[in-house]
Structure formats: C-alpha cells, structure tokens
Structure 1
Amino acid sequence: MSAGPRVAGFDFLEQPELPAPQVTDAQATQLLSTHYGLTARVGSLGSNQDKNFLVYDGDDRVLGVLKIANPAFTATELAAQDAGAAAIAAAEPTLRVAVPLPNLAGESSTTVTDLIDGTAHVRLLRFLSGGTLFDKGHLAPTVVAGMGELAGRLSRALRDFRHPGLDRALQWDLRYAHDVVTTLVGHVTDPAARDRLTTAAAAAWSRIAPLAEALPRQAVHLDLTDANVVTASTGLPDGIIDFGDLSDTWAVSEIAITLSSVLRHPGADPTSILPGLKAFHAIRPLSGAEVDAIWPLLVLRTAVLVVSCAHQVILDPDNEYLTDQADDEVRMFERATSVPLDVMTAAIRAELGLAEGW
C-alpha cells in the first residue's frame, strides 16, 4: 500500500463516508431569495457528494447553478476552488468558466448554519450554455482532441496557481488511488469483479510507484470529464464547470482523468483517447515519466470510479445519479483493462512521436 496522506484539508482515507447534503427544492428557493435576492424555481442536479440545483427565472431561463458543498470540505478549500476558477478565466479569456456569482453582500460564498447538520457553504455559479459531452453518444476524434486541448489550456493556466486550500486528499486524487481501491473494493458484491479490480489496481500502481518522485505537481481540476466540459455551437468544448475536486497533485492526472471519460461512450476503445493526448501534449508537453504513467493512471481512475460508486450507493441509496453511473463505470474499467499496460504505453509513445526510454 502506498503511503497515507498528510494534508491540512479534507482527508478521504480518514473520513471515507460522504453522503450528499439533503436539501429540498423549497429550501433551495429560500436560499436564493434570502441571500441572492432572486425569485426562482430550481431543479435538482446529480452529484456524488454535494447538492446542486439548476436555477430558473420566471421565464424558465437558466440563471445559474446553486451548489451546497458537502460540509466535510472547509471554507479554505472552497475559496481555493473559486480562486482557481478566476485564475483560469483570467489566463484563458476565450474559455468559458463557471465562476461564482456574488450574493447580496457581494461575496462569492454564503455561510448558512441552519440548513444541514453542520455549516453549509452555498454558492451560485455561472451557468454555461451549450450542454456537456455526457450524453453526446460517440465522440468523434475531433471532439476528443478538443477535450485534450481544453485540458492542456487548463493545466497551463493553473501551473503557477497556489492556495492553501489545495492541500487535501480526495478519493479522486490518483496519488491515493491504490489506497482507495484497497479500502473500498469490499463494497463490490461480485467476488470475481473484486479480484479483477484488485489485480488491475495493483498492476497499475506497480508501474506508477517507481515514477512518483519524477511526476511534477501543480493545481489540477481533477474532474475535467465529459460531464464537466461544456460545448460551443461548433460542438467542441470551450467551457469548464465544477471545480469541487481542485487539488495539488500530479499534473499528468488532469489528462488521464479527462480521457478516461472517453471510454464511457459508444464505440470507444483504448486508442480513442490518442487524439486527446496528442492535443494536450502540443500545449503542455509531457515528460517521459508522465507518458509512462498515463495509462496506468487511467486504469486506476476507472477502478476508483467502480469501487467509489459501490461504496457511495450504500451511503446514499436514493441518489439516482450514482445508480445511473454504475454500468458506465464498469464499462470504462473493462475497456481500460482490455489492453496490456505495455501495449497502450507503446501506442501512446508512438502517437506522440517519442522513442522508447525518452
């Protein structure tokens, strides 16, 4: 097992149970009225561990996304997310970024003490029109390349961003992926599936561990997937939402996580990620160690998704967002493990024009 985390912020391995806050539509509309001066209706949005609502005006136009963060996350961590979004918006002005909108006091975050068990941190985020790639079916190579380009621009924008709220250990941080799989795999009911997950995670980690010290770190969005990139009228991604997982971790995690989501789509296979990887590399060149880590990290990401879903369904059985994801996440894992690690790493090197051992 890899070394346990030592962080100032939230530590998943110390507190693995994170049911989403329970907030009703009526409570959400009251928050909007009291703190934002809005008369609006809301519609619940899916989330693993937070509570989100789409906010509509009287003419059914979307005004924004109301986000009630899980109380396990600190105000400092949430401030880092807002500052990171602002940094990207400033560095990449042609990208659309879901930055927070001010409340009546002119603040980006509202602290509420009588809403849930614990302090609630509430934000109203800018809504980006166009829709995500989540339900787009097959992703063409140009779209996958667009995802890689977006991830590269984001990584470049965050390269020098620093904030104390980035010091956290989330279950989605691939530095802890093997520990997360080991901790949560017991919630997977099928013994054969448990064995496949454990074996694949161990094999992937055995490739990553020797490279760990050579992998550069920086602020990483950590969830720039098909569900969190928004498309322009061209159908290509140009918008970024949901900074809830922003952390200081291995920079290469950004593109590994982004491209793992390609495997969820119809007709995808491991080579479907290659246009995205090439586009990322053109903007934010990858080191030799990062290139060798990408596919093992992607395999670990899919394993983490499977075991995390199995765990979270137990904590939050009425969360339809989780149950709807389960089959897709198993499919991603199966596709990621359908090709040996060495074969995919060689394919990645060939796509990037890199010699073995570079």
Structure 2
Amino acid sequence: MISLLDGLSEPFDHLDSAGARAALRTHWGIEGPHPVRLDTERDDTFRAGDVLLKVAHPRDDSAVIEMQSAAMAHVAATDPGIPTQRVVATLDGSQSATVAGRHARVLTWLDGDLVEGQDLPVTFFETAGRMLGRLNRALAGFRHPGAHRDLAWDLPHLPALRTHTTTPLHLEVIDRFTAETLPALATLPHQVIHNDSHPGNLLVRAGSLAGILDFGDAVYSPRVCDLAVALAYLVPDRPRPWPEVDAFTAGFLSEVPLSDGEIEQLPMLLAARTIMRSVINQTLQRDAHSDPSGFYAANDRKLHLIMRET
C-alpha cells in the first residue's frame, strides 16, 4: 500500500495541448477545437469539443486501462440507458493508442453540471441511487483480469493505511474494521464495481442525472462497497436526519436488493471511505484547497457521526 500511495502523487512529464491536438489528429482523425486541459488526479486529460482525450500515467497498467474501456463497453451493451461515457475507436479500430510512450484513449463528452456543490432536491438523490444501482447490476456480469488489482481506494485495503495516520479515531476504526468488517466482507457477494460515484463524478442536467463519470477506480470488490462509496460523500456535517443518504440508499436498493448481511456493513464501510479521504488526500494534497485544517476537521466530524450508526 505504501508504494500505491507513493505512486498516486508520483511526478511525470506532462503532455501539452499541442501534443494533445497532434495525438487527436494522428490517431483518431479528429480536427476541432484546441484541446483544453482538465484537472485530474493522475493522468493528462483534455477536452476537445465533444470528446475527451485521456493520456494515462506512465506507471498505469495496460491491463487496468483495457479493463476500464471494456467495462464501459459492457455497460453500454447491457443497459444503454445508463449515462456513461463511450470509448471512441482509433482510425485503425483500436480502443487506445500510444502517445508519448503512454496509453491514450478518447471518450465521448457528457454535457451537464457537476452535482458537487449544488443544492438539489431529495428526489434527485433517489433517482441517482437508482441509476448507480443499475450500473452496479450491469457490471455484475462483467469479468476482466485487470479488475483484480491492488488499489489504494478499494475499501478492503483500509488496514494498510494504519501506518499513515496517527489520529486516534482513525486507528480505532481501522482496528475494528480489520477484526470485524474484513472477515464479514469476505463472505459477501463480489463483482466489478464503479467504486467512485461521488458528487464530483456525477452530472446533473435539467434536474436529472446526466452522467456517471470516471471508471478509473473500477475494481473487483464486495458489491456493497459501490453504495458505501457514494453514501460517504452525502453524509452532512450534522446529526441525523440525513434525507439525501436515505433517498440514495432507497434508490439503489430498488435496483440491487442487498442482503441484510451487506446492509449491516454499510456504516463501517462509510467510515472506511471517510478515513481514506483524509489519509490519501493528505498524501495527494487535494480536496483541502486553501484550508486543509478545515477539510480534515470536517471529515473527522463526519466520521464521528458515522460511527454513531455502528
């Protein structure tokens, strides 16, 4: 896990917009607006009109990249109504090309505004939960060796973060997770999951969910983790009631009727993701913006609230 955390922030030579434009023209035959760089965690990403060019980090595994593309194709074939991006084939029909020695793909652009920071009605979250449930159900039949990987953001890997935090509550939760939650998770249904449906990866347009973005954290894991990841970002900085959390859960369960055993693990899984946000983002120095102490304090307040549910 230490190497995984180090790799998340490892520097590399970035592709510039001129290189992105040349790649689009050479490999995809796309001539259009000048590519505009978008901020991402790990790769080089550019928007050029109605497409997105993603050039992978040099250390990214080709099998994982192929898995992400295959997962998007599988979802499109299984349930075309789910608003996910599509992979645009190269001029020779491939799913990717080599650009500056790195794997590059072009995805369709989805219009909409990020859910993050918006004041949306509770009914939206029920609809969003239902759509994530459909995505989870669509991925249930997907198989790919690239999904069986070590990933810093995979919830069962929480115990490996123990040496990266000194916060007493973090340590207490990690120890309990290791002793109680991990053995329980091993007995629950596993499949490939999206694993990153937070408000920064969801799009809204005209009041409806317009997109579920970013398969970069897709992984083979307990299926309940898909719901847990989304819910961890919806917990407000106050005690219950949490109407958005309840609505999203109801929507998801209407599509994927989780077992009682899976639902019992949700509070600890929410706690796990909340700790990961603090520890991993501290490594990446992101999400904290101009007030890192404020971000981490708010995150730990949410962790206290979540632990009341266990």
Length-normalised TM-score, structure 1: 0.77
In 2, Cα distance between equivalents of 1:274 and 1:74? 37
How many Å separate the matches in 1 of 2:174 and 2:255?
Answer: 29
Taking the aligned partners of 1:143 and 1:32, their CA distance within structure 2 comes to 36
Q: Deviations over 1:298-334 (max 9, x none)?
A: 1110111111111123xxxxxx777479555653442
* Alignment root-mean-square deviation, CA: 2.5
Give the stretch that moved more between structures: 206-215 or 216-225.
206-215
Q: What are the residue-to-residue correspondences of 1:25-44 with 2, within 5 Å?
A: 25-39=17-31, 40-44=33-37
Query: Residue type matched to 2:6 in 1?
Result: E
How big is the shift at 1:20? 5.8
1:53 maps to 2:46: yes
1:205: Cα distance to partner?
Answer: 4.0
Give the Cα–Cα distance (whole angstroms) in 2 for the partners of residues 205 and 241 of structure 1: 31
Which residue of structure 2 lines up, in the alignment, with residue 227 of structure 1? 200
Give the secondary-structure state (helix, strand or coil) at the position aligned to 1:96: coil
Structure 2 letter corresponding to 1:26: A
- How far did residue 204 of structure 1 move? 4.0
CA contact (8 A) 2:35 2:47 kept: yes
Give yes or no for the alignment of 1:173 onto 2:154.
Answer: yes
Q: Which residue of 2 aligns with 1:24?
A: 16
Distance in 1 of aligned mates of 2:146 and 2:209: 27
User: Which whole-Å deviations, capped at 9, do the CAs of 1:182-234 have from their partners, x for residues lacking one?
Assistant: 1432xxxxx6xx3332233333444412312222100011111111122242x
| CA separation of 1:30 and 1:306: change in aligned 2, threshold 3 A | same
Does 2:304 match 1:337? yes
Q: Are the equivalent residues in 2 in contact too, given 1:158–1:218 (CA < 8 A)?
A: yes
Cα separation, partners in 2 of 1:328 and 1:86, compared to 1, 3 Å? farther
How many Å separate the matches in 2 of 1:92 and 1:230? 18
The 5-angstrom pairing of residues 198-277 of structure 1 reads 198-233=171-206, 235-263=207-235, 271=242, 272-277=244-249
One-letter amino acid matched to 1:184: H
Q: 1:67-216 to 2 correspondence within 5 Å? A: 67-112=54-99, 115=100, 119-136=101-118, 138-179=119-160, 181-185=161-165, 194-216=167-189
Structure 2 residues not aligned, in runs of 5+: none
Aligned residues: 304
Deviations 1:35-93 (A, max 9, x none): 222333122222222221222xxxxxx32111111222222111111111111112222
Counterpart amino acid of 1:274? D
Letter in 1 for 2:134: R
TM-score, length-scaled by structure 2: 0.88
Instruction: Report percent identity of matched pairs.
Output: 26
C-alpha distance in 1 between matches for 2:287 and 2:34: 21
Contact 1:208/1:293 (<8 A) preserved: yes
